[in-house]
Amino acid sequence: MATEDDQNPSDSTVDIERFLDELDAGGVGGPNRASHVFARFGDSALPRLVAAMQVSRGIIRLRAALMLGDTRSARAIEPLIAALRDDDPRMRAAAAVALGKIADSQAFEPLPRAISDGVAFVACNAVSALGKLDDVRVVETLDEAVTTHQAYTVRDVAALVLLGRGESGQRAVNEALTHPDAATRAAALRAIGRAGEARALTSVMAALTDPDASVRQVASWAIQALDEIRAFDASLAALSDADAGVRGAAIGCLKDIGDPRAASPIADMLTDPDADVRASAAAALDSLGDDSAIAPLEELAAHDTSVRQPFNRQVAITADFALERIRERLRRRNESSNASSDMRGADGR
């Protein structure tokens, strides 16, 4: 009598596909999937998953690859490494994720090759997977990705992963802050901000005077992520930066901080020579809701130079919208105040 293991590969693949669909229908996800598969198929579960990854189509292949990672089995490593060369970038990404779950040193050589993948999300998953390996060479490889990779998203992920690699990784990111390449410095700043690495605040503050405007923009954001108090003063100073992008970023930071003291300096930016900066200032004043902004916003809406260009009414439209919202908030406050006064008067009779 034939057993399940005696079935031909196509039959076993159909079985595993059906079972994976059943798990989906039952809402079973994550690592629990692997335990269900082994409970159903026993020792044949792993070869069935490998077959499904290699033979099936669409989402089933990806599910099988990810579940191979959940097994943490050394026998899954070779087929997953082979899947890093698959024609489908989704499969290459899934294979990288699965190898990261297994975290075996056998994956060290193929994962750096996957970081060179022309599809950024594949390379990002390979970076994340590499960061899970217990190998002293990982920091050097990730550092290379931060400093040389063409995709900024890959640089960002590599820098963030480095920060989680202990002192050696943190040292690599700190060194990247002074790298000759601006994209490298920016990647390090984004990682520090996202990780909330407050110990690097002094170095981030120094980046506010970076010769590259894009780095100064990122530094402004990173400071806000680390210390809003110091970010407020730094953003006020950045309003006078020579680069319009930096001035716009500073306005955005002040808007997010929400300190009403920023209303007057931002109102001054309504006369900035750059239309995008003026529009950002109008939007920020709308968010802050300060009544003192009404007069300068009225002036901007009526006389902004970009109004003369029919294709560019962004500034005037933003100013009009801000005025409408500020006036409405003012009207409601007045109504509320009048109602409170009437109630007090009635109580006194």
Q: Is residue 89 in some structural domain?
A: yes
Label residues 300-337 b or e (16+ Cβ within 10 Å = b).
Answer: bbeebebbeeeeeebbbbbbbebbeebeeeeeeeeeee
Number of Cβ within 10 Å of residue 183's Cβ equals 20
Q: Is residue 277 in some structural domain?
A: no
* Percent of the chain that is helix, strand, coil (3-state, to 5): 80, 0, 20
Q: Is residue 228 in some structural domain?
A: no
Q: What is the pLDDT of residues 280-328, one digit of tens each?
A: 999 999 988 888 888 888 888 887 766 445 445 678 888 888 888 888 8
CA atoms within 13 A on the CB side of 295: 3
Q: Is residue 276 in some structural domain?
A: no
What is d(CA 300, CA 279) in angstroms, rounded to the nearest whole number? 10
pLDDT of residue 9: 46
Q: How many domains does the chain have?
A: 1
Find the CATH number of the domain harbouring 17: 1.25.10
Say whether pLDDT at 347 is over 70: no
- CA-based R_g, the chain, Å: 28
Q: What is the pLDDT of residues 221-241, one digit of tens each?
A: 999 999 988 899 999 999 999
pLDDT of residue 1: 38
Q: What is the mean pLDDT of the chain?
A: 86
Q: Is residue 76 in some structural domain?
A: yes
pLDDT-derived band at 63 (thresholds 50, 70, 90) equals: confident
Torsion, Cα of 301, 305, 308, 314 (10° steps): -60
Q: Is residue 214 in some structural domain?
A: no
Per-residue tokens: 11: 């039959």
pTM of the model: 0.76
Q: Is residue 112 in some structural domain?
A: no
Q: How far is CA 89 from CA 18, 93, 120, 153, in A?
A: 24, 6, 10, 16
pLDDT-derived band at 12 (thresholds 50, 70, 90) equals: low
- Three-class SS of residue 349? coil
The boundaries of the domain holding residue 17 are 9-99
What is d(CA 188, CA 198) in angstroms, rounded to the nearest whole number? 13
As a whole number of Å, the end-to-end CA separation of the chain is 100
Say whether pLDDT at 2 is over 50: no
Label residues 8-32 b or e (16+ Cβ within 10 Å = b).
Answer: eeeebbebbbebbeebeeeeeeeee
Q: Is residue 171 in some structural domain?
A: no
What is d(CA 41, CA 113) in angstroms, rounded to the nearest whole number? 34
